[in-house]
Structure 1
Amino acid sequence: MAFPGQNRVLQNQLCGTVLGGLGGLIQPPLTAAGLGQKFYCPSGGAVASSPPSQQQPLPVQNQSVPARPGETSSTGEPEPDRPIGYGAFGVVWSVTDPRDGRRVALKKMPNVFQNLVSCKRVFRELKMLCYFKHDNVLSALDILQPPQIDCFEEIYVITELMQSDLHKVIVSPQPLSSDHIKVFLYQILRGLKYLHSAGVLHRDIKPGNLLVNSNCVLKICDFGLARVEEPDESQHMTQEVVTQYYRAPEILMGSRHYTSSIDIWSVGCIFAELLGRRILFQAQSPIQQLDLITDLLGTPPLHAMRTACEGARAHILRGPHKPPSLSVLYMLSGEATHEAVHLLCRMLVFDPLKRISAKDALTHPYLDEGRLRYHTCMCTCCFSVAAGRVYTAEFEPSAGPKFDDSYEKNLVSVWQVKELVHHFITDHQQGKQAPLCINPQSAAFKTFIRSTAWHSSKVSKKEER
């Protein structure tokens, strides 16, 4: 996630309510008369028969007392705008939406139109953020109205603000009970089922891309590597996906085509990490990563390596035969029960064709308690009335029509994509809330314009699919 020149920022902008003094980082657009033209920014369930459950949301340690919108819980003072995340393709800031005083996340995508591959990727991510409508998938709340197309270089997206991510929770001293693990895993799979039903592969599922708040609500984020599933096995797909520790064996072995099962492997690694509070397969190189996997799963049969490149297959076959050692999974922690290990073993399957799907994993009895807790007191699809709890007709909804990326085949130039993105954002704004712009008089403004991605200028120009 990420964000940065001064004049471009002044024309691309959004951020915080005016809270006295210099105000927040975003504000409603100022007129040209006020600041000069260069600062201008255009603008059916059933009622449960039983009484409501007494289950409560699972707290995260040091949960704060709720504050009024835009204020800190401890002092009641306006909460400062600040950066909260840096990534390969942008920077994320915590800011205040002046329209309702709510704290939101502002993602800045800088240097979008440097090359065709980069701008196609950003356009895809932007369309996905606007397409997704699911409690466990992060989506766009708003997009900053763009300037005139000649000045259009950066994109700003507002999303819901989440307080932490699963990586920070795992490495923290926060105790994780069996209930925590079940409700986290349930939400990951619930969101993933939705993505896969839309025909979307995430391709970078890892704890840092799973946002959580103090009530343990979880959302899948960061769709910078996401793409539509490719049904044609003869079509090559990039292998430069998924953080190594969570990378499926078929990718490690050089397969040029893969399916949504790569995301399930990643979830299995995260499940084990939740149980053991440490990374399951932590190697220094892809080859060592593969060796750690075969140490646990055993030497795979030839048919499980049918899509592997010759070198990777030879590496496995010339090594000693390894028997499976899955029983060591019971030693991850006291929470590694028989049901937990059974589900984990259905995810960590070498052969992607035999790996469990998100839809089927959600039917596993291990997740029954997580489903009950989530829909009793955490979800937005169910609600309580005097007669009891009103439950949704479908606990794990699928997407409607599949996400359509057919437009990408006709994208042949950076300028063409730039025009389409500009038009898409402008259309997205019509009939919605008043637009927002960056406030150049905000105390955070100078820091904001200097904040940038880790290496946004180093995005590969090689065609990425």
Structure 2
Amino acid sequence: MAMAVVGQRVERASSRHVMAFHNPSSSPSVTNNQHVGLLAIPVSGSIISPVTYASETPDRPIGYGAFGVVWAVTDPRDGKRVALKKMSNVFQNVVSAIRVYRELRMLCHFRHENVLSAQDILQPGPLDFLHEIFVVTELMQSDLHKIIVSPQPLTSDHVKVFLYQILRGLKYLHSARVLHRDIKPGNLLVNSNCCLKICDFGLARIMEPDESIAMTQEVVTQYYRAPEILMGAVHYSSAVDIWSVGCIFAELLSRRILFQASAPVQQ
């Protein structure tokens, strides 16, 4: 293939494999017995103060979300480049606290090549002044949104590789009864080897088998929102994530948003 999306050659898809994933053994391993508390979880080693990371002077913000900003920093323990997510005002209200707790819990349990996981959750200063939490994850060079809007050519092989990895990661999440509820190009991180990881679990939750229990309607970015959510359904399934993948598939092919309306009513 003449060109890769982020700088590396992409292998042609075949019936036996789509691409060479990195060795899972090289990724941070997370086991259940490492979850010793929400505020101090030694996932990959000792807890490091956020001040230590801050003193390294982050290069640039590489992403923004509803709950914070992500910076590219250097891990002072081994010199590796990592992503540091600062989650601010995490306990300003009950809804925010629940969502942050869900995201942290999931990041520490996930272990899959196509799903982002936490390497460390950093304990801040005295608990009396706890207003923010810092999460360390693997550093990914780009995301699918940046790739789609760039002038970089996208071949059919690129589309196959990306779509395969999205579905592979979603299969892992859905097998654990996790609904992501915000699948969009900006939440699909891509590294220089074209390996893709699903990120941002701020809206994720466990599937609710009891249909009498209402689920949040204000989920999924509007352009990727499934019809049942737009119509006001209070109970839905993993199909809402698959609808989002279909929208992304069309966007990869056309390089433009498939359903783009100014308001949910028009959507």
- Give the TM-score taking structure 2 as reference length: 0.79
- Is residue 15–residue 106 contact of structure 1 (8 Å, CA) maintained in 2? no
RCO greater where, 1 or 2, for CA within 8 Å and sep 6 or more?
1
Distance of aligned partners of 1:173 and 1:15 in 2 relative to their CA distance in 1, 3 Å threshold? farther
Aligned with residue 177 of structure 2, among 188, 199, 224: 199
Between structures 1 and 2, the one with greater strand share: 2
Q: Work out whether 1:235 is the aligned partner of 2:213.
A: yes
How big is each residue's C-alpha offset from its partner over 1:3-24, in whole Å with a ceiling of 9 and x where there is no partner?
xxxxxxxx9615549xxxxx61
SS in 1 for 2:266: helix
**Sequence identity, in percent?**
78
SS in 2 for 1:118: helix
Q: Work out whether 1:218 is the aligned partner of 2:196.
A: yes
Once residues 101 and 145 of structure 2 are traced to their aligned partners in structure 1, the CA distance between those partners, rounded to angstroms, is 28
SS in 2 for 1:288: coil
Q: Which residue of 2 aligns with 1:177?
A: 155
Q: Which residue of 1 aligns with 2:224?
A: 246
How big is each residue's C-alpha offset from its partner over 1:420-455, in whole Å with a ceiling of 9 and x where there is no partner?
xxxxxxxxxxxxxxxxxxxxxxxxxxxxxxxxxxxx
Q: CA deviation at 1:82?
A: 2.1
Q: Work out whether 1:162 is the aligned partner of 2:194.
A: no
Amino acid at match of 1:24: E
Once residues 202 and 86 of structure 2 are traced to their aligned partners in structure 1, the CA distance between those partners, rounded to angstroms, is 13
SS in 2 for 1:170: helix
Q: Which residue of 2 aligns with 1:140?
A: 118
Q: Which residue of 1 aligns with 2:21?
A: none
Kindly name which structure, 1 or 2, has the bigger radius of gyration based on alpha carbons.
Answer: 1
Distance of aligned partners of 1:15 and 1:180 in 2 relative to their CA distance in 1, 3 Å threshold? farther
Q: Which residue of 2 aligns with 1:113?
A: 91
- Is residue 210–residue 219 contact of structure 1 (8 Å, CA) maintained in 2? yes
Q: Work out whether 1:24 is the aligned partner of 2:56.
A: yes
Q: Work out whether 1:271 is the aligned partner of 2:249.
A: yes
What runs of 5+ residues in structure 2 fail to find an aligned partner?
1-47
Distance of aligned partners of 1:212 and 1:15 in 2 relative to their CA distance in 1, 3 Å threshold? farther
Once residues 109 and 141 of structure 1 are traced to their aligned partners in structure 2, the CA distance between those partners, rounded to angstroms, is 15
Q: CA deviation at 1:147?
A: 2.7
Runs of 4+ in 1 over 4 A off after TM superposition: 14-17
Aligned with residue 92 of structure 1, among 65, 70, 76: 70
Q: CA deviation at 1:166?
A: 0.2
Q: Which residue of 2 aligns with 1:433?
A: none
CA RMSD of aligned residues (A): 1.6
Between structures 1 and 2, the one with greater helix share: 1
Q: CA deviation at 1:179?
A: 0.7
Q: CA deviation at 1:169?
A: 0.3
Q: Which residue of 2 aligns with 1:13?
A: 50
Once residues 82 and 201 of structure 1 are traced to their aligned partners in structure 2, the CA distance between those partners, rounded to angstroms, is 31
SS in 2 for 1:287: coil
Once residues 88 and 206 of structure 2 are traced to their aligned partners in structure 1, the CA distance between those partners, rounded to angstroms, is 24
Q: Which residue of 1 aligns with 2:127?
A: 149
How big is each residue's C-alpha offset from its partner over 1:299-347, in whole Å with a ceiling of 9 and x where there is no partner?
xxxxxxxxxxxxxxxxxxxxxxxxxxxxxxxxxxxxxxxxxxxxxxxxx
Amino acid at match of 2:166: I
SS in 2 for 1:270: helix
Query: How many aligned residue pairs are there?
Result: 220
Once residues 92 and 174 of structure 1 are traced to their aligned partners in structure 2, the CA distance between those partners, rounded to angstroms, is 24
- Is residue 132–residue 139 contact of structure 1 (8 Å, CA) maintained in 2? yes
Distance of aligned partners of 1:16 and 1:113 in 2 relative to their CA distance in 1, 3 Å threshold? closer
Once residues 154 and 81 of structure 1 are traced to their aligned partners in structure 2, the CA distance between those partners, rounded to angstroms, is 21
- Is residue 200–residue 227 contact of structure 1 (8 Å, CA) maintained in 2? yes
Once residues 105 and 15 of structure 1 are traced to their aligned partners in structure 2, the CA distance between those partners, rounded to angstroms, is 14
Equivalences for residues 394-433 of structure 1 within 5 A: none
SS in 2 for 1:183: helix
Equivalences for residues 334-349 of structure 1 within 5 A: none
Amino acid at match of 1:13: P
